Structure 1
Amino acid sequence: MVNNFLTTLNITLIANRNLKKMEARAGEAIKKSSTASSNKAAIDAYEKDME
């Protein structure tokens, strides 16, 4: 899908192996962000219950 988009824009295609590496890095970043968000929500809920 990404390569189709790049072809439409007349941009050099991304090698599949490099695309997979970028997907893995993005996945890790999303995982870290969601974990931090979940932790903050849990702390906020706990603090609200303690009021």
Structure 2
Amino acid sequence: MTAAARGRNIRLVGGGELVGAFADRGLLDELVLALHRSPSARARRCRRDG
């Protein structure tokens, strides 16, 4: 993968296991964390009702 990138940035999108595998091999220079809120079960029920 790094050879195919030819020095350009590679973006990983996934969970901790994927990112951890790359980190364990020393392949991460930078980590950007994005968090997305998940609606609660109660909020989902309210929207369905109306």
**TM-score scaled to structure 2, two decimals?**
0.31
Query: Relative contact order (alpha carbons < 8 A, sep ≥ 6): 1 or 2 greater?
Result: 1
Looking at secondary structure, tell me which structure has more helix per residue. Answer: 1
**TM-score scaled to structure 1, two decimals?**
0.31
